[in-house]
């Protein structure tokens, strides 16, 4: 008989699983509901479309500023001038969603109708305690966050990418988005990369997490505290430097120097050493380590499998193992004080366990996971040409609970 797995939430032995993806174990519907905000983003079949409001709910739950570009745009985070303002705005949404019990579906409906901030004010004003709260009073004193957003986002983004097209060498005769796309068909991959990056920067959002531009322009090396600082520097730099200067600095790994040349030394020097390493050595140097950092910090795996072999992710057989290993790497990047390239060197030497445990305090179970998943494995296992060449556990039908979308409703009475 198959051994019972542990409930993802409380650790109780159980064989019950999410009925949609059959990947995550929960002992009761109550535990499944407690994990709803997180799991609905990763479930294979959540039962309804995932919206930017779902990403916002997860940001509120984890107390981390959202990294999803659409969420940043839809909920006003791109109006923040500093990281502190983003934290303050997140606190406002926490009061709204956790304190005043506004659901993600409701927020999404408000945002789609263009009445988000009007409804936020109405909701807070209906409660005397909420109306007097520090976060709401801050919101009222910062009118830049109260503009109706979402109504013209598509037009604004289209305009930004048309401007990017002209700035990166496109014909000035092209003044329509459709005509621009026809011209882009003949552009080289490098030129397209520049166009996409300029378009993102002019749209005031970072490149898509894990994308080509994300890796090539140093965002794969960022921590939560310097991602938006890097975007801020680039936003100013592309307006000051010519495109030829920017392109040549990129090709010669001199973007950090170009930042200094145009007066951004102080901001540049506030970037993490990992970002400076990435800018000075280029995207191909230690590229695997930026993939694992992007996954650990920003929860995006990307398409390449090589780095997953190198850092043990391909050996995980359960979501619990995957989550545990990811959190270990997250601890490393957040707490170790070591640079990412040192982790890359340890991976090349087959000494990830020794290096990480030397610099990060791990729990006994975390050490066990790290040692088991990053130990030396024969290449024939790591690089099997077909899935059938890998050893897979026998599957057995498990009891099922609910689909994530069914948890949006009120708890069922016993």
User: Does 128 fall in a domain?
Assistant: yes
**Which residue, of 260, 281, 302, is where some domain finishes?**
281
Question: Is-contact 77 65, C-beta < 8 A?
Answer: yes
Assess whether 92 and 191 both reside in one domain. Answer: no
Residues 125 and 59 in one domain: yes
At 407 the pLDDT is: 64
- Check whether residue 64 and residue 126 sit in a common domain: yes
Question: pLDDT value at position 3?
Answer: 54
Helix (H) or strand (E) holding 13, with range, is strand 13-14
Among candidate residues 217, 251, 281, the one where a domain is terminated: 281
Same domain, 170 and 205: yes
Answer whether residue 247 shows pLDDT above 90.
yes
Range(s) of the domain holding residue 166: 153-281
> Would residue 206 count as lying in a domain?
yes
pLDDT of residue 378: 38
The partner residues of 200 in beta bridges, in order of sequence, read none
Check pLDDT > 60 for residue 381.
no
pLDDT at 5: 78
What confidence score (pLDDT) does residue 191 get?
Answer: 92
Give the residue from 145, 176, 192 where a domain finishes.
145
Q: pLDDT tens digits for 134-188? A: 999 999 888 777 654 443 445 667 888 999 999 999 999 999 888 998 899 889 9
For residue 169, give Cα distances in angstroms to 160, 247, 393: 15, 11, 54
Mean pLDDT of the residues in the chain: 84
Q: How remote is the C-alpha of 53 from its chain's centroid?
A: 15
Q: Are residues 139 and 167 both part of a single domain?
A: no
Give residue-wise pLDDT tens across range 84-116: 888 899 999 999 999 999 999 999 998 887 888
Pair (107, 189) in one structural domain? no
Domain count, the chain: 2
Exposure of 266 by Cβ count < 10 A (0-12 exposed, 13-18 middle, 19+ buried)? exposed
| Contact between residue 130 and residue 136 where contact means Cβ atoms under 8 Å apart | yes
Model confidence pLDDT, tens digit, residues 292-333: 999 999 888 766 667 888 899 989 999 899 999 999 999 999
Name the pTM for this structure. Answer: 0.57
- Asked if the model's pLDDT at residue 400 lies above 70, the reply is no
What percentage of the chain exceeds 70 in pLDDT?
86
For the residues 118-137, what does the mean pLDDT come to?
92
């Amino acid at each position: 008989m198959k051994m019972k797995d542990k409930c993802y939430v409380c650790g109780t032995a159980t064989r019950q699983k999410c009925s949609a993806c059959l990947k995550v174990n929960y002992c009761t519907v109550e535990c499944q509901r407690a994990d709803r905000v997180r799991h609905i983003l990763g479930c294979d079949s959540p039962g309804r479309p995932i919206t930017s409001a779902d990403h916002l709910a997860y940001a509120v739950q984890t107390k981390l500023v959202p990294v999803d570009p659409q969420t940043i745009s839809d909920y006003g985070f791109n109006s923040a001038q500093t990281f502190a303002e983003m934290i303050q705005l997140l606190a406002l949404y926490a009061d709204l969603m956790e304190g005043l019990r506004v659901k993600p579906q409701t927020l999404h409906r408000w945002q789609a109708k263009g009445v988000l901030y009007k409804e936020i004010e109405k909701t807070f004003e209906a409660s005397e305690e909420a109306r007097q709260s520090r976060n709401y009073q801050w919101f009222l004193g910062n009118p830049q966050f109260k503009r109706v957003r979402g109504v013209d986002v598509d037009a604004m983004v289209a305009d930004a990418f048309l401007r990017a097209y002209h700035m990166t060498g496109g014909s000035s005769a092209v003044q329509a988005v459709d005509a621009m796309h026809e011209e882009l068909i003949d552009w080289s991959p490098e030129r397209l990369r520049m166009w996409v990056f300029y378009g993102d920067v002019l749209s005031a959002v970072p490149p898509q997490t894990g994308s080509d531009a994300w890796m090539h322009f140093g965002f794969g090396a960022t921590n939560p505290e310097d991602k938006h600082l890097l975007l801020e520097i680039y936003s100013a730099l592309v307006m000051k430097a010519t495109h030829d200067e920017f392109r040549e600095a990129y090709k010669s790994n001199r973007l950090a120097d170009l930042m200094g040349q145009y007066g951004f030394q102080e901001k540049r020097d506030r970037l993490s050493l990992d970002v400076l390493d990435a800018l000075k050595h280029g995207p191909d140097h230690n590229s695997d380590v930026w993939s694992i950092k992007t996954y650990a910090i920003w929860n995006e795996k990307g398409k390449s499998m090589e780095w997953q072999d190198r850092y043990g992710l391909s050996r995980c057989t359960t979501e619990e193992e995957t989550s545990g290993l990811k959190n270990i790497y997250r601890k490393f990047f957040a707490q170790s004080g070591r640079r990412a390239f040192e982790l890359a060197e340890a991976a090349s030497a087959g000494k990830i366990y020794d290096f990480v445990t030397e610099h990060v305090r791990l729990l006994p179970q975390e050490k066990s996971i790290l040692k088991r998943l990053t130990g030396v494995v024969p290449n024939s296992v790591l690089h099997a040409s077909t899935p059938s060449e890998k050893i897979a556990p026998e599957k057995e039908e498990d009891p099922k609970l609910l689909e994530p979308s069914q948890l949006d409703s009120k708890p069922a009475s016993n």
